[in-house]
Amino acid sequence: MTGNWALTSIVAFGLIGCGGAPPAPAKAPTHEDTEPRTIDEAQDQIDSARAAIDQNLAQGSPAVNAEKAPNGGPASEEKPSETCGGQCKALASMKRAVGVLCRLTGDNEGRCVSAKRTLDASTIRVASCKCSR
């Protein structure tokens, strides 16, 4: 019995000495969750966001490609927030990247102007999702 007590004491003191169990690792931010630091990173995020929106639209998200019901309302009763998560997340990422890109290049520079056009076009494409701006 003395051997078990000694082992238990060692384990207990060892945990106390090192602060107990290690903390759970924090979720690493994904490429889309972080603000770009360079022009190239911003351009990459804009391109990734546009590709994500294109992919979601190609998959036929009900809120985006909803057919009109005979009474003129949407055919799907699903709420945009339930069906447009991917589009809204991609649009938010794009908006963040466009802001950084324009801040780094200047509002009148060609890459900024082009990025703003891409953001405007993407916003129109997912307008039925009613993503917060």
pLDDT tens, residue by residue, 10-48: 545 554 455 555 555 554 445 556 889 999 999 999 999
**Is 86 within the bounds of a domain?**
yes
pLDDT attached to residue 19:
53
Beta-carbon contacts of 83 under 8 Å, excluding residues fewer than 6 positions away, are 61, 62, 63, 64, 76, 129
Residue 6 CB-density burial (10 A; 0-12 exposed, 13-18 middle, 19+ buried): exposed
Question: Does pLDDT of 102 surpass 60?
Answer: yes
**Is 24 within the bounds of a domain?**
no
Number of domains present in the structure of the chain: 1
Residue 60, CA distances (Å) to 45, 47, 64, 65, 108 in order: 23, 20, 7, 6, 36
- Flag whether the pTM goes above 0.75: no
| Residue numbers of the domain that contains 97 | 36-68+77-133
Count Cβ atoms below 10 Å from residue 55 Cβ, excluding itself.
Answer: 12
Residue 49 CB-density burial (10 A; 0-12 exposed, 13-18 middle, 19+ buried): buried
**Is 133 within the bounds of a domain?**
yes
Q: Which of 51-60, 85-94, 107-116 has maximum average pLDDT?
A: 107-116
